[in-house]
Chain A
Amino acid sequence: MEFILQPLTLLTFFPLLGVLVILFLNAEQKNAIRWVALGTSLITIGISLWVFSMFDSSNPNLQLEAKYEWINVARFNIYYYLGVDGLSILLVLMTTVLTSISILCTWTAIEDRVKDFMAFFLLLEVGMTGVFLAQDLFLFYIFWEFTLVPMYFIIGIWGGPRRVYAAIKFFLYTMAGSILMLLAILWLGIYGNTFSVPDLITKGGIPADVQIWLFLAFTIAFAIKVPMWPVHSWLPDAHVEAPTAGSVILAGVLLKMGTYGFIRFNIPLFPEATVQAAPWIALFATIGIIYGAWVSYAQADVKKLVAYSSVSHLGFVMIGLFALNPEGVAGSILQMINHGISTGALFLLIGMIYEQTHTREIKVYGGLWKITPIFGVFMLISALSSMGLPGLNGFVGEFTILLGAFGSDAIGNPWYASISALGVIMAAVYILYMFQRMFMGPAGEITHHHELKDLNWREIITMVPLIIFMFWIGLYPKPFFDILAPAVEKLLSALPL
């Protein structure tokens, strides 16, 4: 019983209780199902805040550990091992918050098979939280792969016209990446006679030539998830076809699982390979930043535009990580949160207008600012936050990252950072260009013919928490950096730089 009462176990598996309740409800009681799902996710937020209240941010180590022998026969030393530290606590909080917000945003958008949807959504939350908390490679792999299943259904059942294609592409792409990681995990398990990550890090001493291969196997898995250029092509499809809630979680949390993987596994497990690979990763990240921004600019579909902008933004996260200095890494982790907030907000807003007009083509809109002012204000703030306007969250993250990348010894030259900085300007271009076409000028085709309603109370409540965080992180990021700093310092201290 002690095992179940561990705070992190409760946090991870509490949504299962909601799934169980939902399974016993009649599929016709849609509102009851929605309330149960929302209630469950809100309680999960509560648990995550409780966990946060017990978290000591000055301690760089894993905390609130729950470690129990799980499979200890047949030479397997697999632990049920959960733990949280400064690198993951913010991501966990973001996961629980975004899940609630996503559930709230589906209130009227999902009318078909609500029961299945909510069950899958809560299962997804279990998987995501598990990914950020697992400290045993086997356990991590189970959570990591498991998140694919509910997401596959969410895209495939409730998505747009090409949903089946997008869902399968998403599934196969991600699985193809992670399956090589499985072999690397097995190698580590045989080598260290344990799958526990902290133990493997302590043991260390993996030969440098093997490290490269293991690093590569993990990198393929995570790079596809991030997604880094050139393995990003599943992302636009998945985003465009996914229902709004799916997009929010996809952009907000699932992509972060990739970048988090680099932090949690690649850097500490394979330090030599990390240092060697840093310039290469920086190169690919830079290409991704420019490429993503460029392609965004050309999009006619606003959701696709935001999807490609993710490729660009996640490029910043990657170059910051592999700057391998405190500014870069801390900025990256903060930028992971920022991206979740801003891009999540953009997807939510696009979903709200799409629910009314059923089109996402930029050119049919126009003059929205006058017709739907509240919507316009929210959109403007989110857009500015996404492009990195000082005073909002995006600026803090990107600025710190670029600062780190400029002075990075690991990357070795300031060129990547300089070119990446262009990405910030390009972001302003594509975001503002989009905003101008949709919100300014004369009323477009759709805006003309539709009786467009402004946001209602539920939608405003959905948006407000995100807006608060945009300003909070933008104006006073110190508490966030304080949480990150000790853990980042510990992470980097082990590198042979």
Chain B
Amino acid sequence: MITPPTFTDFYTLIPYLILTVWACVLLLVDLFIPKNRKSITAILASVGIAVSLGYTVTQIGFKSPGFNNMVALDGFSTFANILLLVSGLFGIALAYGYAKRMNIERGEYYTLLLFSVTGMMLMAQATDLIIVFLALELLSIPLYVLSAISRRIEAEESGVKYFLLGAFASGFVVYGIALIYGATGSTALNDIFFAASSGDFSLLLSIGAALLLVGFGFKVAAVPFHMWTPDVYQGAPTPVTAFMSSGAKIAGFVALFRVFTISFPTLAADLTNVLWVLSALTMIVGNFVALSQSNIKRLLAYSAIAQAGYILMAFVPYGIKEVAPVAVASGLFYLVAYTVSNFGTWAVVIALEKAENKGLELDDYAGLAKKYPALAIAMTIFMLSLIGFPPTLGMVGKFYLFRAVMDGGFVGLAIIGVLTSVVSAYYYLRVVVNMYMKEGDPTIENETWLNFTTAITAIVTVVVSLVPNILFLLASTAVF
């Protein structure tokens, strides 16, 4: 039965609504902001995110479905929303000086970014496949545009490539939804679960679920759906890459976590094997191909692929009832670790990047430690965190991930995971080698917000790893 919306319905979506309305208004306001003062738009956009973030924080601990079970507000969505909004803030901070310096400053950047964040937030709250699809499009389309926003030829290539492959992936998702609807007669996640556990639709349902997996696999850049990643990451303006590699990944994973854990535990017998292979492949391919990269953006693109493999790994035992919450919690926890270190890394990359795609080779990092010791220390911290080395958040995150895998009894996968971590150490350390052990004369851009991002992410990476209790608590209570 359909009931008319009440205040509770709206309450579940308030942070999302704030941001959507704000983005729409900002689109209009931006018209009246002179071309050379677009930083006002950036500040206004950040204010919007901050307000939404503030409201999200007040929602910690609340739990309620909304709009006839189309969306939900729960610990999981609140956790993801906070992370997404923070990513949005970082995305703006990184672009603030970069856009000016590269002469690509446009008000649309910030509004598109806001729209993308709203899509991601909706994804985190979606409990119906239709909403999932809406959210997917809402987050993706602004990203396609953002990739091409610098209007350089590489950026356009990157945008078109992302768009075409992304549209293809969306097609998979829609087709999957259609098949699932055909099999179960519903698009609501809970109903799908009930239908799946009572009836005998397994083949159609399995195909539908597999198609969804393909679509989400594309968004999180899991092998073999990762082909777009290096080119798009390399061609897109660096702040967009930074935002994309965190935000889109978070959104893809939260959708995967929620949809699969709620709707498809009955299919776990089949899907677990698929996920096992996907995550193993992702870790192996991502890490090994990264070894041979000499461009930092491509290197980080492959590293982003590999990192997706680790998160997927924790999700493999999702069908085991006792382990599923741990799997999801550890995935969320690791997403935080990854996001923080990832933005820090990209901030350093942006600080070294010069016009015309210069300053992006690993060799350009030679001698950084001598000239800018603080920046080099920060970068070392991020690299250690991405390897999973103490004392960083990445290490604690991996510890949690691997425990979920061991809890689920997938020792073989865990061994692949740890061994590929060793491989990853080699290429992450190459950056450190260049910074500390080679001679060179790099120059950096000294931008306030860039420095701020680098500093705050580095501090968080170390400090939270030493006192991770609150984050553990939030992640482990972030349940549906």
* A, B bound: yes
Residue B437 at the A interface, CB < 8 A? yes
Q: Check B411–A171 contact: CB distance below 8 A.
A: no
Q: Check B426–A172 contact: CB distance below 8 A.
A: yes
Q: Check A182–B433 contact: CB distance below 8 A.
A: no
Give Cα distance in the complex from A171 to B433, angstroms. 12
Residue A175 at the B interface, CB < 8 A? yes
A-B contact count, CB below 8 Å? 86
Contacts of B473 in A (CB 8 A): 73-74
Q: Check A163–B414 contact: CB distance below 8 A.
A: no
Could you give, for residues 443-480 of chain B, a 1 whenever the CB lies within 8 Å of some chain A CB and a 0 otherwise? Answer: 00000000000000000000000001100110110000
Residue B390 at the A interface, CB < 8 A? yes
Other-chain contact of B402, A116, A149, A156, A183 (Cβ < 8 Å)? A183
A182 touching B399 in the complex, CB below 8 Å, given contacts A113-B370, A175-B425:
yes
Interface residues of A in 120-148 (CB under 8 A from B): 138, 141-142, 145-146, 148
Stretch of B148-156, B198-206, B415-423 on the interface side: B415-423
Interface residues of A in 186-204 (CB under 8 A from B): 186-187, 189-190
In the complex, what's the smallest C-beta–C-beta distance from A209 to chain B, in angstroms?
A: 14
Residue A179 at the B interface, CB < 8 A? yes
Other-chain contact of B403, A72, A171, A180, A186 (Cβ < 8 Å)? A186
Other-chain contact of B422, A73, A179, A186 (Cβ < 8 Å)? A179
Q: Check A176–B419 contact: CB distance below 8 A.
A: yes
Q: Check A74–B476 contact: CB distance below 8 A.
A: yes
Contacts of A149 in B (CB 8 A): 384, 389
In the complex, what's the smallest C-beta–C-beta distance from A318 to chain B, in angstroms?
A: 24
Could you give, for residues 54-69 of chain A, a 1 whenever the CB lies within 8 Å of some chain B CB and a 0 otherwise? Answer: 0000000000000000
Interface residues of A in 235-270 (CB under 8 A from B): none
Residue A168 at the B interface, CB < 8 A? yes
Residue B310 at the A interface, CB < 8 A? no
Residue A157 at the B interface, CB < 8 A? yes
Q: Check B421–A164 contact: CB distance below 8 A.
A: no
Least CB separation from B434: chain A residue: A164
Q: Check A168–B370 contact: CB distance below 8 A.
A: no
Among B402, B406, B411, B473: residue with most chain A CB under 10 A:
B406
Contacts of B373 in A (CB 8 A): 116
Q: Check B472–A74 contact: CB distance below 8 A.
A: yes
Could you give, for residues 155-187 of chain A, a 1 whenever the CB lies within 8 Å of some chain B CB and a 0 otherwise? Answer: 011000001100110011001100110110011
Q: Check B436–A171 contact: CB distance below 8 A.
A: no
Q: Check A168–B426 contact: CB distance below 8 A.
A: yes
A182 touching B402 in the complex, CB below 8 Å, given contacts A73-B476, A74-B473, A190-B407:
yes
Contacts of A145 in B (CB 8 A): 389-390, 395
Contacts of A175 in B (CB 8 A): 389, 421-422, 425
A164 touching B437 in the complex, CB below 8 Å, given contacts A172-B422, A175-B422, A183-B402:
yes
Q: Check B437–A183 contact: CB distance below 8 A.
A: no
Residue B429 at the A interface, CB < 8 A? yes
Give Cα distance in the complex from A168 to B433, angstroms. 9
Residue B391 at the A interface, CB < 8 A? yes
In the complex, what's the smallest C-beta–C-beta distance from B151 to chain A, in angstroms?
A: 40
In the complex, what's the smallest C-beta–C-beta distance from A478 to chain B, in angstroms?
A: 40
Interface residues of B in 187-205 (CB under 8 A from A): none
Give Cα distance in the complex from A317 to B441, angstroms. 48
Among B399, B407, B411, B476: residue with most chain A CB under 10 A:
B399
Q: Check A183–B414 contact: CB distance below 8 A.
A: yes
Give Cα distance in the complex from A167 to B436, angstroms. 12
Residue A153 at the B interface, CB < 8 A? yes
Contacts of A153 in B (CB 8 A): 436
Q: Check A157–B437 contact: CB distance below 8 A.
A: yes
Give Cα distance in the complex from A141 to B476, angstroms. 23
Contacts of A172 in B (CB 8 A): 422, 425-426
Q: Check B472–A76 contact: CB distance below 8 A.
A: yes
Least CB separation from A156: chain B residue: B437
Contacts of B400 in A (CB 8 A): 74
Contacts of A163 in B (CB 8 A): 437
Q: Check B425–A164 contact: CB distance below 8 A.
A: no
In the complex, what's the smallest C-beta–C-beta distance from B12 to chain A, in angstroms?
A: 26
In the complex, what's the smallest C-beta–C-beta distance from B400 to chain A, in angstroms?
A: 7
Contacts of A186 in B (CB 8 A): 399, 402-403, 406, 414
In the complex, what's the smallest C-beta–C-beta distance from B474 to chain A, in angstroms?
A: 9
A74 touching B475 in the complex, CB below 8 Å, given contacts A138-B399, A156-B433:
yes
Residue B329 at the A interface, CB < 8 A? yes
Residue A17 at the B interface, CB < 8 A? no
In the complex, what's the smallest C-beta–C-beta distance from A4 to chain B, in angstroms?
A: 14
In the complex, what's the smallest C-beta–C-beta distance from A15 to chain B, in angstroms?
A: 15
Least CB separation from A180: chain B residue: B418
Contacts of A74 in B (CB 8 A): 326, 329, 400, 472-473, 475-476
Residue A464 at the B interface, CB < 8 A? no
Q: Check B390–A141 contact: CB distance below 8 A.
A: yes
Give Cα distance in the complex from A190 to B395, angstroms. 18
Give Cα distance in the complex from A148 to B415, angstroms. 21
Report the 8 A-B pairs with minimum CB-CB distance, sorted nearest first: A74-B476, A179-B418, A142-B390, A73-B472, A74-B472, A176-B422, A73-B473, A156-B437
CB-defined A-B contacts under 8 Å, sample of 5? A146-B391, A153-B436, A183-B411, A183-B418, A186-B403
13 further interface pairs, Cβ-Cβ under 8 Å (given A75-B476, A175-B425, A186-B402): A74-B475, A75-B326, A113-B370, A142-B395, A146-B390, A149-B384, A149-B389, A156-B436, A164-B433, A171-B425, A180-B418, A186-B406, A190-B407
